[in-house]
Amino acid sequence: MEAVFKEQGEDLCITSTYEGNHGGGSLHYANQAFDLHLVQEAQEQMARILRARLGTAFDVVLEGDHFHVEYDPK
């Protein structure tokens, strides 16, 4: 992920891992999810790139002002 952000001229900033308040059953609490912050204008493009590069074992979800990324192999 760091390489993807760097290629896009963005800084990788993890804003949440297991701490904080997350939904019941969230993979945050199993240390299998984290949140990333990115400026609004770049979010859609970055989400598409991350989904393509990370593959189907990861979910990349836009949640308002941040990305939620979780390891969730199918």
Q: For all residues of the chain together, what is the average pLDDT?
A: 84
pLDDT at res. 53: 94
Distance CA 45, CA 22 (A): 25
pLDDT at res. 50: 92
- Give the residue numbers spanning the domain of 33: 2-71
State how many domains the chain has.
1
Between β-strands 14-16 and 58-63, what pairing exists: parallel, antiparallel or unpaired?
unpaired
What amino acid occupies position 35? D
Distance CA 26, CA 59 (A): 13
Regarding pTM above 0.85, the answer is no
Where residue 19 sits, what CATH number does that domain have? 3.30.980
Range 9-34 average pLDDT: 79
Give yes or no for a contact between 16 and 60, defined as CB atoms under 8 angstroms apart: no
